[in-house]
Amino acid sequence: MIAKPDFTRQLAVFLCIVILILIILLVLYYNSTKNIVDITEEVFTKKSHRKISKKGEKNLIPLKDCDQKNSLALFNDFEENILNQEIMNNNLIESYILYIYFESTYGNQMWLSNFNSEKTILRRGKFKISYSPSKNNLIVTIPIKKLGIHSSNNQEEKFNLNDSEEKIIVNKVKLQKWLQIGIIINGRSVDIYIDKRLRKNQILDNVPILSNEKIILGESTNNPNCYIGKIEYSPLEIKPDELKALYFKNMRSFKINPLLRECVKYNNHMLNTFSFSPTNS
Contact 89, 278 (CB under 8 A): no
pLDDT confidence of residue 88: 78
pLDDT at 14: 84
What is the structure's pLDDT at 109? Answer: 54
For the chain, domains (ranges, CATH) are: 38-276 (2.60.120.200)
Written as one string, the DSSP assignment of the chain is -PPPP-HHHHHHHHHHHHHHHHHHHHHHHHHHHTT-EETTHHHHHHGGG--S-STTGGGS--GGGT-BTTBEE--TT--EEE--GGG---SSEEEEEEEEEE--TTGGGG-SS-TTSPEEEEEETTEEEEEETTTTEEEEEEEEEPTT-----HHHHHTTTTEEEEEEEE-----SSEEEEEEEEETTEEEEEETTEEEEEEE-SS-B----S-EEES-TT---SEEEEEEEEESSPPPHHHHHHHHHHHGGG----HHHHHHHHHHHHHHHHHHT-GGG-
How does pLDDT run along the chain (281 residues), one tens digit per residue?
A: 455 557 787 888 888 888 887 776 666 555 555 578 888 877 776 654 444 444 445 555 555 555 556 678 777 677 888 876 667 787 799 999 999 999 875 544 555 667 778 999 999 999 999 999 888 999 999 999 876 555 555 554 455 555 789 999 999 999 989 999 999 999 999 999 999 999 999 999 999 999 888 999 998 888 888 889 999 999 999 999 999 999 998 998 888 877 777 777 776 666 666 554 444 43
Give the neighbor-by-neighbor strand order of the sheet with 127-132: 80-82, 215-217, 119-124, 127-132, 137-145, 163-170
Handedness of CA 196, 199, 204, 210 (dihedral sign): negative
Q: How far apart are CA 92 and CA 185, in angstroms?
A: 7
CA-CA distance, 75 to 90, in Å (whole number)?
A: 32
Q: How far apart are CA 145 and CA 205, in angstroms?
A: 8
| Cα-based distances in Å from 25 to 83, 98, 111 | 32, 22, 42
- Rounded Cα–Cα distance for residues 268 and 111 (Å): 8
What pLDDT is stored for residue 52 in this prediction?
Answer: 43
Q: What is the pLDDT of residue 204?
A: 95
pLDDT score recorded for residue 234: 92
Other CB atoms closer than 10 Å to residue 131's CB: what's the count?
A: 21
